[in-house]
């Protein structure tokens, strides 16, 4: 039981860390398009939670966790406010923004695949939904900012998420210990994405 609680805690941590990382990426993109305070908060929230909401609708988990669990909204708002406050520094740093984005990609690919498996779906659904969780928020961000999404333009973006999700599903099928089955695919996806920059 305590083992299961620990695993649950680990995945919650992964999910909230991904939310934080993507909210920074979203807030920076919105700030660069000269949106005002609400626009930045909205884009940060949608970038952070859009992929998870799409995943939850596809597996029938309603209402989606991004709406019903206040921790997501709070995490996204804090990350967006930090980005706004620190913007003079953030602006000069494309590197850290991409770092956060690559982190979010790995964290969400693994969490999304895990959640689909927990809901009892097969490996194909889990891998596709892991990828959708990871890239969905960024696609929604770019659609709302009326531009062709970087998800479609950068080859090693969605493919890195796909690889991470596939490795996570493999790990759960082979009953790797939770810590390995979680962090190995996260690092693999993050490494793939980051190496391609």
Nearer to a second copy, 155 or 174 (CB): 155
- Which residues, including other chains, have CB under 8 Å from residue 136's CB and lie 6 or more apart? 50, 51, 52, 53, 54, 55
Q: Which one of residues 7, 10, 67, 78 is an interface residue with a second copy (CB under 8 A)?
A: 67
Which value, to the nearest 10 degrees, does the dihedral of the CA atoms of residues 90, 139, 50, 81 take? Answer: 10
Contact between 152 and a second copy by CB under 8 A: the answer reads yes
Q: Given the rule CB under 8 A, which of 76-84, 94-102, 153-161, 163-171 is the region that contacts a second copy?
A: 153-161
Within positions 99 to 128, which residues make up the interface with a second copy, using CB under 8 A?
116, 121-122, 124-125, 128
Distance of CA 3 to the CA centre of its chain: 25
Q: Given the rule CB under 8 A, which of 35-43, 84-92, 96-104, 167-175 is the region that contacts a second copy?
A: 35-43
Residue 190 to residue 44: CA distance in whole angstroms: 20
Contact between 37 and a second copy by CB under 8 A: the answer reads yes
């Amino acid at each position: 039981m305590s083992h299961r609680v620990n695993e649950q805690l680990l995945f919650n941590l992964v999910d909230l860390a991904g939310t934080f990382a993507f909210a920074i990426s979203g807030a920076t993109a919105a700030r660069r398009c000269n949106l005002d305070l609400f626009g930045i908060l909205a884009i940060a929230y949608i970038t952070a939670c859009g992929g998870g909401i799409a995943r939850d609708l596809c597996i029938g988990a309603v209402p989606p966790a991004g709406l019903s669990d206040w921790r997501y909204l709070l995490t996204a708002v804090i990350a967006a406010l930090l980005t706004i406050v620190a913007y003079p520094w953030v602006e000069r740093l494309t590197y850290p923004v991409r770092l956060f984005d690559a982190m979010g990609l790995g964290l969400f690919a693994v969490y999304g695949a895990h959640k689909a498996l927990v809901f009892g779906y097969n490996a194909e659904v889990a891998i596709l939904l892991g990828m959708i969780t990871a890239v969905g928020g960024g696609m929604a961000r770019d659609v709302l900012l009326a531009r062709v999404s970087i998800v479609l333009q950068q080859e090693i973006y969605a493919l890195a998420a796909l690889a991470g999700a596939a490795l996570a599903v493999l790990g759960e099928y082979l009953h790797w210990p939770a810590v390995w089955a979680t962090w190995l695919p996260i690092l693999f996806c993050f490494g793939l994405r980051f190496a391609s920059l």
